[in-house]
Amino acid sequence: MPRKKSPPITEAWRGMTFTRRALLVGGGQMVIGAALATRMAYISIIDNDRYVLESESNRVNLTLIPPRRGWIVDKNGKALANNRVSLRIDIIPDRLHNKEFVLGQLRTLLRLDGDAMERINRDLKAASGFQPVAIAEDLSEGDYASILVRLPELPGVAPQRGFARNYPTGAAVGHLIGYVGAPNAEEYQKDKDPLYITPGYKIGKDGLEKYFQPVLKGEPGAKRVEVTARGKVVRDLETSPDVQGKTVHLTIDADLQDYVARRMGRESGAAVVIDCTNGDILSFVSMPSFDPNSFSDGISNSEYAWLRADDHQPLINKATRGLYPPGSTLKPMAAIAAIEHGIDPSERHTCIGGYRLGSRFFRCLGTHGSVDMATAIMKSCNSYFYWVAHRLGYDAIAPTAKLMGLGEEFQLAGSNQRFGTIPDSAWKMRKYDQPWSASDSLNAVIGQGYVIVNPLQLAVMASRIASGRRLYPRLIRREFKNEALPFSAEALATARHGMDLVVNGPGGTAGRSKLPLDGIAMAGKTGTAQVRGLNTGNGKAGAWKFRDHGLFIGFAPVDNPRYATAVVIEHGMGGSRAAAPVAKDFMTFLFDREKAMEALETFETGWGGTIKERMDRDYAAWKSGASSDPDPGVPQ
């Protein structure tokens, strides 16, 4: 330090220097003290808001309570989907101090396998802060209690008493209701709802659960608790309860739905029952199905693989996405079209075992002799309808088919429909750039060739023939006009009479499926559809997947129809053999439950138990590698 010439160092100088320097040090101390006071004032006044907020977010831990999902109930208020109590264990990553120890304990106590531990570790790595990570769901009371008593040694572990979706009738409503599941990353990215990353929260993933998600979801509750740094809850602050989602009322009859599903037995197919007075869908079944409870609990890979591997396709809703040639079930409709186009229903045509069209001979299934229109329907005489189709051309019949709902896509909640084809000349020109031929008409009129429909459309057709109104199928109380069909009473009466004869007439094709009831009769029409494009065997035997489909449409009671139905049994080898007896039983159920249940119980004994028992057994067998296919004769 540059200084003036140093003064001589004396005691006095030393004393002065000391005083100066001591004052300098003291002054420096005061400056530092003042700086500290300023700093403190800055933190506690200028930054006060920010730190108050941080202190609060330290102190208060907000947890969302997933709302209870709204119920889905049938027309009588019976639950098709409700909630059950579910015990679950989560981990709050911020409070997890001794990770290895805690996870080790959980693994032992809850008997978690390696897959589960891997998932938990993955989730923990991705998670942050107070966002809980699911450890296990649906614990037994015992396992849950074993965690509860050890809670003090397991910091970060958060037991929760929540709710899980429950489908009381299981697989019977699988395709109808759909299922729920934990939101995936894309869904979270889309909606940015913090609830989506709350463990235990499920959203509708398929079917009605997905369609009605906005109605069913409800409002989450929030729990505010004061917590220590180690995550110990000191006390509960205010809690706002969740608001349960709204109930969705369906037109379904839960008991009938269950009955129909069970009555389908080991078969693959679909059955739809419609109320003829208003278009209410009372039963909407596709079998085999999946158990939506399994999906909602997070289905295991092997169970999913089992469902996918099944050649009966339990993951596809055949009622709306199964397309089948309708076969002879179209004949009553064709009869109406014929009468509307001037054919006298009493005019007779002689069946010689087929119909000659130019050089080709179109075969009938029998040689029915002289038949009028009603008899032709009763006996399912192809020759008669070949004759009608040849005379009118299919362009005259197709509009009637469309008025009956065939080829139509309905506004139906939560359904994803494949609506098939009702062909006409314009369609063929558009599609294949070829003119319509007479043989196309002949094929189409017996429900083969280009004609392809789904089971729902068949049921709608049955309801429209039965009611004479343009009924629209509905699953919820949605208003449709349902105006009268532009057909003469004679046309409708002839079709209904023919269908009456099919079941109740002498030699009708479904004579064995008369309802076992006094005073209530069912009308119907069977159909047998060749599996398209596969010219193997005669369709009556051989490999399952090459057999003919069995179809049936019907309504009951014959006079003053109330219920209409359509049943499709895939590869059932014939409508009268496979489909009509099923319809007979569930139609009986609508009028006499006890009688119908007796019949069902007999069948189920033969099939090896209820749907769930059979599914559990099949799955177990599949897992152990054994053949699980219920159908003998299927090449493995």
Partner 1 sequence: MIPVPPAVQRIPWKLIAVLSAITGFGLLVLYSAAGGSWSPWALQQGVRFLAFLTLALIIGRFPIRIFEDFAYLGYIGVLILLIAVELLGFVGGGSQRWLDLGFMNLQPSELMKVAIVLALARFYAQLPPGNTRTWTALWPALVMIGFPAALVMLQPDLGTALAICIGGVIVMFVAGLPFWWFGSAAGAGAAALPVLFSMLHDYQQKRVLIFLDPESDPLGAGYHISQSKIAIGSGGVSGKGFLNGSQSHLDYLPEGHTDFIFATMAEEWGLLGGLALLFAFFLLLRWSTRVALKARTRFGQLTAAGLTMTIFFYIAINLMMVMGLAPVVGIPLPLFSYGGSSMLTVMTCVGIVLAIENDSKKQGSRLS
User: Which residues contact partner 1 by CB under 8 A?
Assistant: 1, 3, 6, 9-11, 13-14, 17-19, 21-23, 25-26, 29-30, 32-33, 36-37, 39-41, 43-45, 47-48, 50-52, 54-56, 58-59, 94, 226-230, 234
CA angle 317, 319, 325 (to 5 degrees): 115
Give the nearest distance from C-beta 54 to partner 1 in angstroms: 5
Residue in the block written with tokens 């079917």: 207
Query: Measured from the CB atom, is 52 or 309 closer to partner 1?
Result: 52
Query: Measured from the CB atom, is 41 or 151 closer to partner 1?
Result: 41
Give the nearest distance from C-beta 130 to partner 1 in angstroms: 12
Give the nearest distance from C-beta 229 to partner 1 in angstroms: 4
- 93-103 as b/e, with b when 16 or more CB fall inside 10 Å? bbbbeeeeebb
Give the nearest distance from C-beta 91 to partner 1 in angstroms: 16
Give the nearest distance from C-beta 414 to partner 1 in angstroms: 45
Give the nearest distance from C-beta 412 to partner 1 in angstroms: 52
Query: Measured from the CB atom, is 39 or 111 closer to partner 1?
Result: 39
Which whole-number Å values give the CA distances from 425 to 205, 338, 437, in the listed order?
41, 18, 8
Query: Measured from the CB atom, is 27 or 298 closer to partner 1?
Result: 27
Sign of CA dihedral 263, 267, 270, 276: negative
Closest by CA to 621, choosing from 311, 315, 171, 302, is: 302
Question: How many Cβ atoms from other residues are within 10 Å of residue 357's Cβ?
Answer: 17
DSSP classification of residue 4: S
Query: Measured from the CB atom, is 40 or 243 closer to partner 1?
Result: 40
Residue in the block written with tokens 């359509």: 566
Query: Measured from the CB atom, is 54 or 118 closer to partner 1?
Result: 54
Query: Measured from the CB atom, is 76 or 228 closer to partner 1?
Result: 228
CA angle 496, 498, 500 (to 5 degrees): 70
Burial label, 89 (beta-carbon count in 10 A; 0-12, 13-18, 19+): buried
Query: Measured from the CB atom, is 30 or 534 closer to partner 1?
Result: 30
Query: Measured from the CB atom, is 32 or 148 closer to partner 1?
Result: 32
User: Contact at 8 Å (CB) between 110 and 136?
Assistant: yes
Residue 557: asked if its preceding bond is cis (omega within 30°), the reply is yes
DSSP classification of residue 183: -
User: Contact at 8 Å (CB) between 485 and 403?
Assistant: yes
Give the nearest distance from C-beta 201 to partner 1 in angstroms: 26
Give the nearest distance from C-beta 151 to partner 1 in angstroms: 18
Query: Measured from the CB atom, is 7 or 77 closer to partner 1?
Result: 7
- 158-176 as b/e, with b when 16 or more CB fall inside 10 Å? bbbebbbbbbebbbbbbbb
Give the nearest distance from C-beta 153 to partner 1 in angstroms: 18
Which whole-number Å values give the CA distances from 559 to 126, 128, 363, 438, in the listed order?
66, 68, 34, 37
Query: Measured from the CB atom, is 33 or 609 closer to partner 1?
Result: 33
List, in sequence order, every residue forming a beta bridge with 82; answer none if it has no partner: 166
Residue 220: asked if its preceding bond is cis (omega within 30°), the reply is no
Give the nearest distance from C-beta 27 to partner 1 in angstroms: 10
Burial label, 413 (beta-carbon count in 10 A; 0-12, 13-18, 19+): middle
User: Contact at 8 Å (CB) between 194 and 220?
Assistant: no
Query: Measured from the CB atom, is 125 or 356 closer to partner 1?
Result: 125
Give the nearest distance from C-beta 29 to partner 1 in angstroms: 5
Phi first, then psi, for residue 460 (nearest 5°) are: -65, -40
Give the nearest distance from C-beta 23 to partner 1 in angstroms: 8
Closest by CA to 112, choosing from 134, 80, 97, 141, is: 134
